[in-house]
Amino acid sequence: MNYTLHQLQIFLKITQLKSITKASEALFLSQPAVSIQLKKFQDQFSIPLTEVVGRQLYVTDFGWEIAEAAEKILNEVQAINYKTMSFKGQVAGRLKISVVSTGKYVMPYFLSDFINKNKGVDLVMDVTNKGSVVNSLEKNEVDFALVSVVPNQLNLDRIELMENKLFLVGGTNLKLNKKTSPKKLFETFPLIYREDGSATRNAMEAYIASHDISTRKKMQLTSNEALKQAIVAGLGLSIMPLIGIKNELKNNDLQIIPFKDLPIVTNWNLVWQKSKNLSPVAMAYLEFLKFEKDRIIKENFDWYEEY
């Protein structure tokens, strides 16, 4: 056998995405180039690795076995590269972070300088729902997680990054009567919620309950982007994090509606298990945040103080 690391990488990506087209996009290669390398790799085995039924590509049982071995080989090669860089005095390794969906507007700004400065660091950032973020912490699958509400069921350390402000938001196409009482707004316009378990939804429900607000029809959407589009289209109102609507406010697609005791203010926290044995890369990142956090906030979130 004479397969290459490049072929192992391509085959592993095909098994992960179950598509040559998607694998080519993920690897920034042309589809014909991926197909050629897959054929060359397959030709070295007497048992099929994949099969096509209809127009769908399937991985055979033997193919899954080879994919598992390929992943182990590639991880070992990466480990060798990390060790080489470390011996040269460079920060090298993999940094894994799980981020709640709205946190995607925050976390990249606290990562870019660190990643650009340390070329030997590979970033794996999973943007998902709160339940999955907490689960990844519990299973020790990540170094850090970004949350706006720290889960109290886990024993965690944390660094507060910046404030998270939640305002009542509506589309600019809604004709709001200035004489309408604040509570009447909720009776007139439907409320749009995030999915169950979302920290934004929990904060919104607690606010409504504590202010004894009666609401009309309500809707539920499972992503911040979908929620924004629904509000822009005039489907209703919602209480939303300011961090995710900068462009919509600038473009006059959304408006902040003044309301009693709003904004709700929490904090974005980078958290990790207290018992976790942090890698050198994770320790280096915490040290970076210690000295650079305030500068990053000042340079990238000065607009935040206008609201």
DSSP collapsed to 3 states, the chain: CCCCHHHHHHHHHHHHHCCHHHHHHHCCCCHHHHHHHHHHHHCCCCCCCEEEECCEEEECHHHHHHHHHHHHHHHHHHHHHHHHHHHCCCCEEEEEEEEEHHHHHCHHHHCHHHHHHCCEEEEEEEEECHHHHHHHHHCCCCCEEEECCCCCCCCEEEEEEEEEEEEEEEECCCCCCCCCCHHHHHHHCCEEECCCCCHHHHHHHHHHHHCCCCCCCEEECCCHHHHHHHHHCCCCEEEEEHHHCHHHHHCCCEEECCCCCCCEEEEEEEEEECCCCCCHHHHHHHHHHHHHHHHHHHHHCHHHHHC
Which of 86, 106, 126 finishes a domain? Answer: 86
Q: Do 53 and 186 reside in the same domain of the chain?
A: no
228 plus 154 within the same structural domain: no
| 213: pLDDT strictly greater than 80 | no
Which range, of 187-191, 242-246, 301-305, averages the lowest pLDDT?
A: 187-191
Which phi and psi (to 5°) does residue 58 adopt? -125, 145
Query: Which of the pair, 307 or 41, is modelled with greater confidence?
Result: 41
Residue whose entry in the numeric block shows the structure tokens 């990562």: 111
146 and 27 share a domain?
no
Confidence check: pLDDT of 189 > 90: no
Q: Please tell me the predicted confidence (pLDDT) of residue 179.
A: 65
pLDDT for position 181: 65
Q: What is the mean pLDDT of the chain?
A: 87
Query: In the structure, what pLDDT confidence band is assigned to residue 178 with cuts at 50, 70 and 90?
Result: low
Same domain? 13 vs 75: yes
Among residues 37, 52, 86, the one where a domain terminates is: 86
For residue 163, what pLDDT is reported? 92
Integer Rg of the chain from CA? 24
Report pLDDT for 306.
Answer: 85
Same domain, 100 and 80: no
How many domains would you assign to the chain? Answer: 3
Quick: pLDDT tens for 21-31.
989 888 888 98
pLDDT band at 175 (very low <50, low <70, confident <90, very high): confident
Do 279 and 144 lie in one domain? The reply is yes
Domain span at 300: 91-162+267-306
Give the whole-number percent of the chain exceeding pLDDT 90.
45
User: Residues 275, 144: one domain?
Assistant: yes
Mean pLDDT of 295-306: 91
Are 146 and 274 within one domain? yes
pLDDT category of residue 174 using cuts at 50, 70 and 90: confident
Both 280 and 216 in one domain: the answer is no
Q: Are residues 72 and 186 in the same domain?
A: no
Tens of pLDDT, residue by residue over 79-123, are 777 676 666 667 778 899 999 989 999 999 999 999 999 888 889
Q: What angle do CA 264, 270, 272 make, to 5 degrees?
A: 130
Residues 41, 178 within the same domain: no
User: So what's the pLDDT on residue 290?
Assistant: 92
Is residue 192 scored above 80 in pLDDT? yes
User: What is the reported pLDDT for 234?
Assistant: 87
More confident residue, 79 or 200: 200
The confidence score (pLDDT) of residue 85 equals: 64
The yes-or-no verdict on residue 2 having pLDDT over 70 is yes
d(CA 262, CA 259): 6
Amino acid at 85: M
We report the CATH number of the domain holding residue 282 as 3.40.190.10
Which of 61, 86, 111 marks a domain boundary?
86
Pair 193, 103 in one domain: no
* CATH number for 38: 1.10.10.10
